[in-house]
Amino acid sequence: MSAAETAPEPADPFLWLEQIDGAEALAWAAERTAETEAAYAGATRDALESRLTGILQDPDRLVVPSRHGDLMYDLWRDADNPRGLWRRTPLADFADGSPVWEVLLDIDALGRDEGRSWAFAGATHGPVGSGRALVRLSPDGGDAAVVREFDLESRRFVEETPFTLGADKHRVSWIDRDTLLVATALHGGGMTDSGYPISARAWRRGERLDDASPIVTGSSSDVGVFVHVDRTAGTATPIVVVAHDFFHSESWVWAGGEPRLIAVPQDAHADVHGEVIAVRTTTPWRIGDTTHPSGTLLLEPVETVTSGDGSDLRVAFTPTDTAVLESWTWTKTRLVLTVLDRVQSRLVSLDPATLMGDDLDLGLGDDDLFSANVATADDDEDDQIWVVARGFLTPPTLLVLDPGAAPRVVDRSRATFDTTGLVAQQHWATSADGTRVPYFEVGPRERAGALPVLMNGYGGFEHALTPEYPTIVGPAWLERGSVYVVANIRGGGEFGPEWHLAALRENRHRAYEDFAAVARDLVARGVSTPDRIACHGRSNGGLLVGNMLTQYPDDFGAIVCGVPLLDMRRYTRLSAGASWIAEYGDPDDPADWEFVKTFSPYHLIEPGRRYPASLIYAAASDDRVGPVQARKMAARMADETDAEVHYLEPVEGGHAGTIDAAATAALHATIHAFLDSTVGRAD
């Protein structure tokens, strides 16, 4: 499309706030933040912050480690180590409930020594027996991180010919002890319009990365190039993924020669495991006379699928009207499926050879609504899986499952709030087009009159909201007799790919109609009244509640909008926004802008209209969505309306919004002070 054909740019008086590190913009953000903090300062807020800090730093809280061979790894944070201790313990000791932790890296001490406020961003372990790992450290909690090679035996960074990379949105994986598969924009790697690497290279120890030849190169319009190495049975299979948009990609298997394309639909999810590829369909896939419906899981040998021959495909899972596949995990001889059935979890263990399987009994009972997921497993070692299960009223519980044995509880989180008299239920609302939309409701079993309600939702990118223990919402909201609601609106993955596809692009309004329908159902059922209903959403969920603020202001009494997308005219030019065009549409295409503008909260503000009170927050270091859309929305609301609007912008924290327990507690204490002053106040 030529420049003359692009959609006209609406007038924007707040473009100056898009200078993320601009002195004037930072001063504005700091002043608004100070005003908000002052407005909600007080003994009640401080007491909640102190309580939440204690919960998040509880020395007896549940540890959910990652397994590598016969060792369990964890990042531990507490009051003395807010950035964390990266540590490990023998598997047998951890399973017996008597771990003896060996500290590998003290992140706080490293930051003090180097004069950098490091945040641990994960580690990629080397091949079995290598004794090495690639440690990722973020300078501010954002997505960009440095990579340093770490010796696990000496517990020091490697000094002789190490693998190191400066801060970037890297993807790195080990091929062998002296070779990495790398996707980085640094050293000539190049960057896409979305800010991710555009090429993948094999980097050998001692070689200049600039001299490493690309294996696969994408284009600037792609989201990015990502890499992974499957190490099933000790054999390294490098995989390069070119993501054309958020939902369409091509995957290549590379074994030192020419990369081979995995011949599956571009919207399918492909997972290489040794000699087998698992493929989950997003839209129906017709092969010969058979059409495999959306959400089907298929298994096929690598050799046949890379040759384009689908004759050996076998069906491992087919969705039903209520049950869909959320994820899958390989063990040494089993394939474990995580299935959502009416938005609650069950685990199924399959024999990949026969595809015969059984539901795994986790012993959870039926007095709560539950979700469960495989937390860690080592598919080279055995069939043991570690599972975390939780409910709205049941703290997270870590179980270990060994073949042929009953599940064993290894540890359980301490309850963070009093659940006496509370009940968790599932209800259904009817959306504008007649679609039935489920939602979870947690609150007092015995009720009298309208109660304050806090709603949460997301509705995007096929991300499902399942039952989750409300570690913070419990003590801050539920314990006082209020109601908490999680809405399973379209755009998410609660009922598989079709639930997501139903709210893409020009159909985005369906997600917002679903959420509003849940709010209205709460009123119709006598749970609350509009002036006592608040909603909180983050990221895409921030866009959701931004549309509640501007399109459904009469249905809510307060809005909490976190790290949000809001300016849908310019979102593709800000941070990683170009990567989400497949979800929302391209505002630079006049045809797309016609529907995108209908859910761009920044452009839906109407001077003179009544709006509920809002608290908008972001982080200066967020390099995924960025803080500028939140800044502009708060500024425009304050300038053009009489609405009550508050703004918070901590410097660190990235897209998570906070970087440690104290910062998390402070943010949520302020959020709940705002909610108390609006929908939570006593009549």
Distance between CA atoms of residues 352 and 155, nearest Å: 39
DSSP 293: P
Query: Which residues are part of the catalytic machinery?
Result: 539, 655
Residue owning tokens 């800090």:
53
Question: What Cα–Cα distance (Å) separates residue 181 from each residue in 127, 186, 187, 240, 241?
Answer: 13, 14, 14, 9, 12
Largest Cα span, the chain: 72
Q: Residue 394: which of 373, 421, 414, 374 has the closest Cα? A: 414
Nearest-5° Cα angle at 580, 579 to 582: 110
Amino acid at 450: A
Tokens of 39: 């407005």
Q: Is 405 buried (19+), middle (13-18) or exposed (0-12) by CB count in 10 A?
A: exposed
Q: Describe the chain by its helix, strand, coil percentages, rounded to 5.
A: 25, 30, 45
Task: Write the DSSP string, 454-514.
Answer: EEE----TT--------TTHHHHTGGGT-EEEEE--BTBSTT-HHHHHTTSGGGTHHHHHH
Tokens of 667: 């943010």
Q: How many residues does the chain have?
A: 683
* Other Cβ atoms within 10 Å of 649 Cβ, number: 25
DSSP 621: T
**Torsions phi, psi for 234 (to 5 deg):** 75, 5
* Other Cβ atoms within 10 Å of 3 Cβ, number: 6
Distance between CA atoms of residues 632 and 574, nearest Å: 13
Amino acid at 551: Q
For the chain, the first-to-last Cα distance in angstroms comes to 57
Q: HEC profile for 248-263?
A: CEEEEECCCCCCEECC
Residue owning tokens 């990042």:
75
Nearest-5° Cα angle at 443, 442 to 446: 140
